[in-house]
Amino acid sequence: MAGSKRAITSLNALFIGVSFIFIASGLVVSSAGVLLNDMGASKTQIGLITSFFFIGAITCTIVSHRLISKVGHMRAYAIFTALFAISALLHDMSNNLIFWAILRFMLGFCYYSIVLIVESWLNEKIPNSVRSRVLGFYEIVFYSTFAIGAVIMSMDLSTTKVFLIGTISIILGSIPLNFLKIKSPKIPKAISISLPRIYNIAPLALATSIIAGLTMNGFFSMASLFIITQGYTPAQAGIFIIIGMCGGFMAHTIFGTISDKFGRKLAIILASSIALFACLGFISVNPDIIAQYIIVFFLGFGIFVLYALALARANDIVTDKNAYVEVVRALLFSYLIGSFLSTIIIGFLINQFGFTAFIYYYIVLLAFLIIFAIFQKNVPKEQEVAFTRHSGHSVIFDELNNDNSK
């Protein structure tokens, strides 16, 4: 415990800085559906524009590490936070939907680039003996500060105020890292990604990663649209998102034990089943907003651990370290592809069939994952390793960087 406290204290500037970035992300990302709806965009258009955030994220995984390696982590952090702030502020300059799509791309690219830099630093400084506890603290920082962003969104602010507050938060996030004096970590070399090859190695991990992207970031980006389409207010949409995240936070404190004791396959089935039953609750009782607050806790409880479980499953299956790096990159790529597709699909479904399509979307995905997982092989108990806690908002690059930082 003392070791983890020392590690956290030594990186307090990093945690403070990234907390402001997460607040901005929570505000800017979760408010997109509300703001675009107020602008008169159709549900399909909202989904398409929001998807550009994840196109930017995918682009980040391909090119950002090359840019970072050329200019260094500190300069890259300053560049990406500046671009992040400018992109947020420019939203108020025009209501042109194409312009907004470009800005969403820049937000996704800059945000995930910042996350890559921060998590590379974490990996560099955290010894293996306290890695899980420090990453757990990092996860707490994400959930709590992202929720603050959702709270700000619930205040029903104008577009100008939303992005002004987001920009201020990003600028504040750029300051603390200047007080952090540590050697910049190395970035791993790019490795080609072959999803068919990864499917042959770890099919359940790959399927779970894709479903995680489709469900988790579908929730972050489109849950607000689901609520306001029912006639509720942005404030109620913000509360809905926060409660879902609370469920996810609680799940991370429990599923580590479940996963280690009973296996990843059972944990994936259990998490998916909890989320599936929550979805059935949405459609079976025709709930009012208070009932939806209760049900969404269990939806978040089930879906927000799926990506972590996918990584843990991959870690069980793949014993070759070089192959594991390739597998984790593939899981990251598939997770972001799922995230990108989620907003397009959800926007189209709500536009065509109404807000209930949001729930049926989750029912189909979760039912598929449960059935798929049932027919996958169990991993021998002696082959399983400790559950690694990974925040669903982003990709934890510790395994990718670990080879180079030792």
pLDDT digits (tens, 9 = 90+) for 84-115: 999 988 988 888 899 999 999 999 999 988 88
264/381 same-domain check: yes
373/258 same-domain check: yes
Task: Give burial (CB, 10 Å; 0-12/13-18/19+) of 74.
Answer: middle
Does residue 156 sit in helix, strand or coil?
coil
Domain stop point among 122, 151, 179: 179
207/159 same-domain check: no
| Lowest pLDDT segment from 89-93, 127-131, 253-257 | 127-131
How many helices (H) and strands (E) the chain has is answered by 18, 0
173/218 same-domain check: no
**CA torsion angle for 378, 380, 383, 387 (degrees, to 10)?**
50
Q: DSSP readout, 183-239?
A: PPPP-PPP----HHHHHHH-HHHHHHHHHHIIIIIHHHHHHHHHHHTTT--HHHHHH
Residue 358 lies in a domain: yes
Domain stop point among 179, 204, 231: 179
Q: Which two tokens stand for residue 132?
A: 């899980």
Residue 367 lies in a domain: yes
215/325 same-domain check: yes
Query: Of 26-40, 56-70, 155-169, 267-281, which has the strongest mean pLDDT?
Result: 267-281
For residue 115, give the H/E element and its range.
helix 97-125
129/230 same-domain check: no
Domain stop point among 179, 200, 220: 179
Whether the CB-CB separation of 83 and 106 falls below 8 Å is answered with: yes
Give ∠ CA 149-150-155 in degrees, rounded to 5.
100
For the domain that residue 330 is a member of, what is the CATH number?
1.20.1250.20
Residue 406 lies in a domain: no
Q: Residue 233 to residues 54, 245, 310: CA-CA distances in angstroms?
A: 26, 19, 35
pLDDT at 392 over 60: no
If one counts the domains in the chain, the total is 2
Residue 202 lies in a domain: yes
11/122 same-domain check: yes
Residue 42 lies in a domain: yes
Sign of the CA dihedral running 44, 47, 48, 49:
positive
Residue 150 lies in a domain: yes
Whether the CB-CB separation of 56 and 179 falls below 8 Å is answered with: no
Taking the complete model, does pTM exceed 0.85, yes or no? no
Residue 31 is predicted with a pLDDT of 78
Residue with the larger pLDDT of the pair 31 and 245: 245
pLDDT at 294 over 90: yes
Residue 398 lies in a domain: no
166/195 same-domain check: no
Spatial distance between the Cα atoms of 228 and 298, rounded to a whole number of angstroms? 20
77/174 same-domain check: yes
Residue 74 lies in a domain: yes
272/156 same-domain check: no
Q: Which two tokens stand for residue 100?
A: 């907004």
The parent domain of residue 332 ranges over 191-392
86/168 same-domain check: yes
112/217 same-domain check: no
Buried b (16+ CB within 10 A) or exposed e, 122-143: bbbbbeeebbbbbbbbbbebbb
